[in-house]
Structure 1
Amino acid sequence: MERYEIVKDIGSGNFGVAKLVRDRWTKELFAVKFIERGHKIDEHVQREIMNHRSLKHPNIVRYKEVLITPTHLAIVMEYAAGGELFERICSAGRFSEDEARFFFQQLISGVSYCHSMEICHRDLKLENTLLDGSTAPRVKICDFGYSKSSVLHSQPKSTVGTPAYIAPEVLSKKEYDGKIADVWSCGVTLFVMLVGAYPFEDPNDPKNFKNTIGRILSAHYSIPDYVRVSMECKHLLSRIFVANPEMRITIPEIRSHPWFLKNLPIELMEGGSWQSQDVNNPSQTIE
């Protein structure tokens, strides 16, 4: 870690702490996730490193390297200066349809790339969607601790993810296609951006977990009257929130949906010519 100087703490979670660091040579800022060595270095951490290091896309937080110190494992990655999309919604209440679409287009672009690399995220949520510091913020998907490679593993059976975002088939503990479950989670993110509330929470009893599960299993949701949403957007949500995964819209179908295509930035178009910013190969260093 001699190469980096710690600037400040930027977060904590089950894994440990995240700190903002500065590269002493280049002065570039990075985020570092410090995980205590020992029992916390579990399959989720291994999976996060294995899957994240293979991904290079403008809408995915860039993995830089893993460092091993005497006490911690340190995952060095791109610093998203704009914070969580979740925080932005909390302060705004909810987004206009155009603003929600702007972020959703980028989210789908990143998820589509993950799927093309045969990786399903399995824990997509606003808290795992970061923003860079630019005025028209770029979405940066992070936290691949629950991700699964659909090449290395058979269909996932475990119930992972965050309750409000979990697809019905994941709750039912049957085998499911992680890519199709990711679509549902993207739909929840879109709904929250538009409405400022979770789609499957009982508005009269939002903390009632049993009610939420029941509503997810039956895909029971409604858009409040006070929220103005176009028919095209309502149609897209109705195609995402389908309890039967075989009938649910797919990522490629979302990318050709009229609502998604409106005001679509050139770089997000199918086969867009984005360039990977990073020429460094991911590395591992033991200090």
Structure 2
Amino acid sequence: MKCNSQDLTLKLFKESIIDRTVAFKEIYMVGKQIGTGSYASVRLCADKLTLKSYALKIYNKSAISSSRQKSIFREIRILQMIKHSNIIQIYNVIETNNHINLLIEYIDGKQLNSLKGYNLKQVLYQMASALNYLHARNITHRDVKIENILYSDGQVKLIDFVFSTLFSNSIKKKIYCGTPSYMAPEIVNKQYYSGPPADIWAFGIVIFYLTQGQFPFKGSNDKELFQLIIQCKINFNSINDHYLQDLLCQMLQFDPQDRISAAKSFCTLGFQIIKSQLVNLKNLAVLKLIYPNKSTLINNINLQLRKLIKPQQNINQIIPKSERAQFNHI
């Protein structure tokens, strides 16, 4: 018999449970608290046999409402669908007498706003890669923000999928969720919306904050903040990098349909990285040896770009020829 998600959720929380707490403690060592949220706490955890470290996300059953139960089940289901180098990974779900425990990847990293010296475009490229991966699988995160992006050893990890959901291109949702400073106008207006453009808006807010050290909209309270978001008046002139300025203009569009997609953001950021790597080569003699003529260089760039985009997409739709022409001076 086929079960729907609600049936499975009820089974997860209401089935008769033999004492599993003792068994859990025999396998894992649970350590200090490393994070907390509205609905769960996160503790450091290690397998007693292998000593491998994990993060243990703990939901207290007695504090969970029926609607929150459904959200937890959805979070688990989505995390189990995902395998990407820039997205947190789930390894196991363990139910004990009093808790639902999510055994997830432990990232010994920090938030980007507390770090200096990292390659911003590399970081943004990895974030765009993660969002492109999710959106291609009809998953939207719905709480993209600096606090949910960890950085460790040159790698970004998108975490906390508590608000994530599956979406359909033909069905829009009217759900008010997320973090106020990152909310898109359509969410603030409580309109029906599609998830991916709202994720892109939030990603744009992240980029603005990382480049400017402040949010584009600042209010003394949520009501004032939301009024500014709806007005959507943003000063991009203070952004020195013209490429990022242009990208933000495409991300922070009032109309969701006018916003750049995650796929195009991913490809254009990839192009910028390729360009910077080539331009930063100090020895032009080596460059000429690798690329005997300009056409060979452009062909190599095209080859790199084809690895970043879907086969049915045309490079000219992703990167204008005027952009690629910037290599002509090399």
**Which TM-score band (shorter chain)?**
0.7 to 0.9
Equivalences for 1:1-287 in 2 at 5 Å?
Answer: 1=24, 2-40=26-64, 41-83=68-110, 85=111, 88-89=112-113, 91-92=114-115, 99-132=119-152, 134=153, 136=154, 138-151=155-168, 154-201=171-218, 206-223=219-236, 225=238, 229-257=240-268, 261-263=271-273, 270=308
Q: Is the 8 A contact 1:195 1:223 kept in 2?
A: no
- Quote the Cα distance in structure 1 between the aligned partners of 2:257 and 2:273: 29
Higher helix share: 2
Give the CA deviation at 1:218: 2.1
- Deviations along 1:50-100, one digit per CA (max 9) or x if unpaired, are 1111100000001111101111100010001013x2xx41x35xx67x732
Q: 2:176 and 2:190 mapped to 1: Cα distance?
A: 6
Q: Which has the larger radius of gyration?
A: 2
TM-score scaled by length of structure 2: 0.71
The letter of the residue matching 1:118 is N
- Unaligned stretches of 5+ in structure 2? 1-23, 278-303, 311-330
Count matched residues. 255
Q: CA deviation at 1:39?
A: 4.5
Residues 183-214 of structure 1: per-residue CA shift (max 9 Å, x gap):
0011011111111111111xxxx433233212
Report the 3-state secondary structure (helix = DSSP H, G, I; strand = E; otherwise coil) of the residue aligned with 1:15: coil
Query: In the alignment, residue 262 of structure 1 is paired with which amino acid?
Result: Q
* Residues 100 and 190, structure 1, Cα contact 8 Å, conserved in 2: no
Q: CA deviation at 1:16?
A: 2.6
Alpha-carbon distance between aligned partners in 1 of 2:309 and 2:169, rounded to the nearest angstrom: 26
Deviation at 1:236, TM superposition (A): 0.8
CA apart distance, 1:153? 9.6
- 1:36 alignment partner AA: N
Q: Residue 186 of structure 2: SS of its match in structure 1?
A: helix
Task: Supply the AA of the counterpart residue of 1:32.
Answer: L
Alignment correspondent of 1:278: none
Identity rate, percent:
27
SS in 1 for 2:57: strand
Return the alpha-carbon distance in structure 2 between the equivalents of residues 151 and 52 of structure 1.
18
What secondary structure is seen at the aligned counterpart in 2 of 1:52?
Answer: helix
CA distance in 2, matches of 1:239, 1:152: 20
- Give the drift of 1:145: 1.1
Q: Is the 8 A contact 1:105 1:260 kept in 2?
A: yes
Runs of 4+ in 1 over 6 A off after TM superposition: none
SS in structure 2 opposite 1:263?
helix
CA-atom RMSD in angstroms = 2.6
Give the secondary structure class of the aligned counterpart of 1:81: coil
Contact 1:157 1:174 in 2 (8 A): yes
- Indicate if the aligned counterparts of 2:142 and 2:177 stay in contact, CA closer than 8 A: yes
Deviations along 1:200-250, one digit per CA (max 9) or x if unpaired, are: 11xxxx43323321221122222574xx52111111111111101111111
**C-alpha separation between the residues in 2 aligned to 1:48 and 1:106?**
22
Task: Work out the CA distance in 2 between the residues paired with 1:211 and 1:32.
Answer: 37
Supply the distance in 2 between the matched residues of 1:82 and 1:256 (Cα, whole angstroms).
26
**Structure with the greater relative contact order (CA < 8 A, sep ≥ 6): 1 or 2?**
1
